[in-house]
Chain A
Amino acid sequence: AQSVTQLDSHVSVSEGTPVLLRCNYSSSYSPSLFWYVQHPNKGLQLLLKYTSAATLVKGINGFEAEFKKSETSFHLTKPSAHMSDAAEYFCVVSGNNQGGKLIFGQGTELSVKP
């Protein structure tokens, strides 16, 4: 069975400093992994996805994530935070046996201080 754990419910950074949002997954199959972002009162938007190609995945708005099978991790990073990055971030796993279902983490709220 697939599962995903986001290790921090809330992360606060200063504008211009690096962002690290941590995610660990569990999967019996070769997983597809995603990061989605949700801005206040908005729907979810795909940031990036890993589907067994390059382990370092680049997404929109300068975000990237690295798939590390040995650590079962898929942490999201950005070199320099911007005020507009303040949002809720969800790590998501999907497996071949899920019929298209996605398993969502509980979310990490990112705050960016001026």
Chain B
Amino acid sequence: DAGVIQSPRHEVTEMGQEVTLRCKPISGHNSLFWYRQTMMRGLELLIYFNNNVPIDDSGMPEDRFSAKMPNASFSTLKIQPSEPRDSAVYFCASSGGDNEQFFGPGTRLTVL
């Protein structure tokens, strides 16, 4: 298995632009998680899905952030409009139901 796949690996954009991060979970996993990691705040859970349904989005910072999971093999995290304080590494993880999460390599986002 290829593991969790994230794209792009690096994204540099200007303030105000829309950013879309993509994640392909491990095949057969039914839970998907989006995290954000910064030096100041550490690792934060933004939102997670079970069976493609959003279960807890209390970690989503504000309305500029949205996430979707249209099917079991794909999820997106969108920021619109982006701001410099959104600069971080965004991780996607998936789980097969035993609480063990497998992490992707992350997307390093820089908003200028």
Q: Chain A: residues with CB nearer than 8 A to chain B?
A: 32, 34, 36, 42-46, 49, 51, 90, 94, 99-102, 104, 106-107
Contacts and interface: CB of A to CB of B under 8 A. Distances in A.
A99 B56 CA distance: 9
B91 A102 contact: no
A45 B103 contact: yes
Interface of B: 4, 31, 33, 42-43, 45, 48, 50, 55-56, 91, 93, 95, 97-106
B100 A101 contact: no
Question: Taking chain B's interface residues, is the majority helix, strand, or loop, or is none over half, making it mixed?
Answer: strand
Contacts of B101: 46, 100, 102
A100 B50 contact: yes
Given A100-B31, A100-B48, A101-B56, A44 B99 contact: no
A90 to B, nearest CB: 7
B105 A43 contact: yes
A21 to B, nearest CB: 16
B56 A43 contact: no
Contacts of B95: 100
Nearest to A102: B101
A44 B97 contact: no
A104 B42 contact: yes
The 7 closest A-B pairs by CB, nearest first: A43-B103, A44-B103, A94-B99, A43-B105, A100-B31, A32-B99, A104-B43
Given A99-B55, A100-B99, A42 B105 contact: yes
Given A100-B31, A101-B45, A104-B42, A49 B105 contact: no
B101 to A, nearest CB: 6
